[in-house]
Amino acid sequence: MNTDTKLLDVQHVTVEFHTGNMFSGTRIVAVNDISFSLEEDKPEIYTLAGESGSGKTTLSRLLLRDLDPTTGNVFFEGRNLATIRKRNDFKEFMKKVQPVFQNPFETFSPLRHVDTYLFETAINFGMARDQRAAAPIVDEALRNVGLSLDEVAKRYPHELSGGQIQRVSVARALIPKPRLILADEPVSMVDASLRMEIVNLFRKLRDEQQVSVIYVTHDLATAYYISDRIAIMLRGYVVEAGPVEAVLDNPLHPYSQLLKESIPKPQPTEKAAWAAHIDLGATEIKEYGRVGCKFAGRCPHVMDICREADPPDVQVENRTVKCYLYS
């Protein structure tokens, strides 16, 4: 496949783990044959949505070069991530792909001023020689998220609100001028009243800074509001993927349909109506080990073939669906 026009190109990646000891245990395919891509010249917000244990965080770790795929390849700007071995190459990659993590209070030590992290980021990525030269760079990044250096200078994490400290996390990610931000559950530790404030930041980054975002979440409300495209994950598989309005307004996979029953119907022109927080079900290890469709044990439309072999990816209009109902 030609990867020259892709910012990110994920090609048939699989990640396997083994639980237990060498004599007895369970083989878990945490990510199973997943492919998707982001265009070079079309910034977008692509959401990986699913319950705990769906594989979305494992996939995000893979995209950050935090682990290698068992099979498959990931390309960024045309380069296979598996070829990034040297420290300088990895540093250049991380300059362009920045993470924003779930709990900002775990990112910043309670014993250090938050602005020191921002200055260090600017200096370590070669944006400035010293703190004085870094100050305008740090201030610009903070202003892009609705703050300023004066507001956070010499302040400890506990002196900022949850919304403020998460915005500082986003500002830190912006300092090296990334092309892609990977946000893993960035609003799950933030009060409901502040969630829209944070997700609106990502829309602003897409529209004004031309930064693409991979948004990892179990919150379908914010996923609907923020996303251009969405992939619904279940036990390591993407069971449905496409434009967010198509997938969540008119889901085709039985699992996606089940999720929709848990969320309010949006107004036709108002995504903000999806304001409720949605918690999906807990992980069941037995579903990972199940032969055939991972949703067969809960699906109201289950057929014999669903328990015998993995369903194919079927193209239905403007999306893909992994389901025998459409094959």
- What's the whole-model pTM score? 0.87
Q: What is the pLDDT of residue 11?
A: 97
Q: What is the pLDDT of residue 194?
A: 73
CA distances (Å), 142 to each of 69, 119, 135, 240, in order? 35, 12, 11, 36
Q: What is the pLDDT of residue 25?
A: 67
The span from the CA of 137 to the CA of 127, in Å, is 8
Cα-based torsion angle of the residue sequence 314, 320, 323, 326 in order, rounded to the nearest 10 degrees? -50
Grouping H, G, I as helix, E, B as strand and the rest as coil, residue 143 is: helix
Neighbours of 140 (CB within 10 A): 14
Cα-based torsion angle of the residue sequence 318, 319, 325, 327 in order, rounded to the nearest 10 degrees? 80
Question: Assign residue 146 a region: left if phi > 0, alpha if psi is -120 to 50, beta otherwise?
Answer: left
Q: What is the pLDDT of residue 285?
A: 53
Residue 267 DSSP label = B
Q: What is the pLDDT of residue 270?
A: 46
Neighbours of 285 (CB within 10 A): 12
Report the chain (327 residues): mean pLDDT per 10 consecutive residues.
78 87 74 95 95 88 92 96 92 95 84 95 94 96 92 93 88 95 86 78 92 93 93 94 95 90 56 42 53 89 93 94 94
